[in-house]
């Protein structure tokens, strides 16, 4: 399907199906009802994204293999690379936290980049294999879990905190990480997924796509709106995902994940996340304690950043999700646009809470100077990381279109 004709889209924010006219490059179509972006069209999106993914992969390799920071205290020098933090966490028996850090800082970004290069590279050939659909779906799912820019901020907070304790020098990996975060962001805004799916369709990767019309189902994987032929087990003809009217058991799953996160929020704030012992004195500090220490050290911007990322964002996410779920269950029809906007904010900010975890992991690896000064990550960090992951899963399982379904009681 060329970009020369209108195509039926379903808004991910409110579920309204609408025809999107042919878009000129660098223009964006928004939903007429809720304002959510439907599609942003790019020029040469496949070639540009392929080049950016290659560049990002090279930067990721440099980030992962060179020195991130070098610290020195009374003649003893410690070097830390990307993997040093998780190694130290695993050595202290916090393997789950180590795994979470490795997954979000290394595994997810590299899998996303290799997958993107694989799919876009094969799309340049005359007959791409069918399995690139699965790979591209995986790439799209990994995107929120690939956290180069959050890691960058975590490293920055660690750097500022360390300046007060030891002599610290930034390594080449920190510069590479800065470039990587920028390139990943550029890649995400450059990649027009709809264009990639249409290219697959042109090259015959999926099944025949029938003409869509209102009343058809929208695919959660690729966004195609189609009338499935198999009504018993409907599947998307373009990407092969199972089709559902709305995300399955969305309300119950979101409630379960949000309640689990709310319960874990208590130990995450009660138990220490960090213990700094300097010249034999020092005490474990909680997340709130860490913010107060930053305020006392007059590091206002950092204190605000950690307060937002570690205390305000998780609370806002939990309260927001809870309020939205209650509104759906009571059939509230007010503030629909505002609630949709609130959900897109919740979805966007969730990953930034990992700043604290990345910072603690780096500090634990770098500052081990015996009786002089040591920093040990605490058990509260494990609970906090679980809160972040659970709220991200909760946002993923929430279906904002359910809020708007109150306007169409005859259907569903």
Binding site for Zn ion (CB under 5 A): 11, 13-14, 16, 31, 33-34, 36, 219, 221-222, 224, 236, 238-239, 241
Give Cα separations from 187 to 37, 112, 163, 207 (angstroms). Answer: 18, 11, 33, 28
SS3 for 397? helix
DSSP code of residue 127: S
DSSP code of residue 242: B
Cβ-based nearer residue to Zn ion, 110 or 344 = 344
- Shortest Å, Cβ 208 to Zn ion: 14
Cβ-based nearer residue to Zn ion, 237 or 380 = 237
Cβ-based nearer residue to Zn ion, 224 or 386 = 224
CA–CA gap between residue 16 and residue 180 (Å, rounded)? 37
Burial of 266 (0-12, 13-18, 19+ CB in 10 A): exposed
CA–CA gap between residue 285 and residue 216 (Å, rounded)? 54
- Shortest Å, Cβ 220 to Zn ion: 8
CA–CA gap between residue 165 and residue 71 (Å, rounded)? 10
Other beta carbons within 10 angstroms of residue 208's beta carbon come to: 9
- Shortest Å, Cβ 239 to Zn ion: 3
Q: Which residues pair with 29 in a beta bridge?
A: 39
Cβ-based nearer residue to Zn ion, 16 or 139 = 16
Is residue 38 within 8 A of residue 20, CB to CB? The reply is yes
Cβ-based nearer residue to Zn ion, 313 or 403 = 403
Cβ-based nearer residue to Zn ion, 223 or 350 = 223
Cβ-based nearer residue to Zn ion, 87 or 241 = 241
SS3 for 299? coil
CA–CA gap between residue 55 and residue 49 (Å, rounded)? 10
- Beta-strand runs (E) in 114-239: 167-170, 217-218, 225-226
- Shortest Å, Cβ 30 to Zn ion: 8
């Amino acid at each position: 399907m060329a970009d020369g004709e209108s195509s039926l889209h379903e808004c991910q924010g409110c579920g309204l199906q609408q025809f999107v006219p042919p878009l000129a490059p660098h223009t964006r179509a928004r939903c007429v009802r809720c304002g959510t972006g439907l599609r942003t069209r790019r020029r040469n999106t496949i070639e540009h994204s392929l080049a950016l993914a290659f560049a990002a992969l090279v930067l990721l390799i440099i980030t992962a293999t060179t020195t991130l920071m070098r610290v020195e205290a009374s003649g003893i020098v410690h070097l830390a690379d990307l993997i040093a933090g998780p190694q130290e966490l695993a050595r202290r028996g916090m393997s789950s936290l180590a795994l979470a850090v490795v997954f979000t800082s290394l595994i997810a970004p590299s899998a996303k980049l290799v997958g993107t290069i694989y799919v876009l590279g094969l799309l340049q050939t005359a007959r791409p294999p069918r399995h690139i659909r699965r790979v591209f779906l995986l790439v799209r799912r990994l995107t929120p879990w690939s956290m180069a820019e959050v890691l960058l901020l975590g490293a920055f907070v660690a750097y500022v905190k360390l300046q007060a304790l030891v002599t610290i020098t930034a390594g080449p990996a920190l510069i590479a990480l800065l470039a990587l975060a920028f390139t990943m962001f550029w890649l995400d805004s450059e990649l027009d997924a709809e264009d990639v799916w249409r290219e697959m369709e042109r090259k015959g990767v999926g099944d025949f796509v029938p003409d869509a019309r209102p009343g058809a189902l929208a695919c959660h994987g690729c966004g195609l709106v189609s009338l499935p032929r198999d009504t018993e087990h409907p599947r998307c003809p373009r990407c092969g995902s199972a089709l559902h009217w709305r995300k399955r058991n969305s309300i119950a799953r979101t409630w379960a994940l949000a309640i689990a996160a709310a319960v874990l929020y208590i130990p995450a704030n009660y138990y220490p996340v960090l213990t700094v012992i300097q010249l034999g004195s020092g005490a474990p500090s909680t997340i709130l304690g860490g913010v107060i220490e930053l305020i006392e050290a007059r590091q206002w911007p950092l204190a605000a950043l950690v307060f937002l990322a570690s205390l305000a964002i998780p609370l806002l996410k939990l309260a927001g999700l809870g309020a939205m779920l209650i509104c759906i269950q009571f059939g509230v029809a007010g503030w629909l646009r505002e609630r949709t906007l609130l959900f897109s904010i919740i979805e966007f900010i969730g990953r930034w809470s990992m700043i604290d975890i990345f910072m603690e992991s780096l500090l634990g690896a770098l500052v081990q100077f015996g009786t002089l000064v040591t920093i040990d990550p605490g058990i509260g960090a494990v609970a906090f990381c679980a809160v972040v992951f659970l709220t991200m899963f909760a946002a993923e399982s929430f279906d904002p279109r359910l809020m708007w379904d109150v306007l169409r009681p005859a259907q569903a």
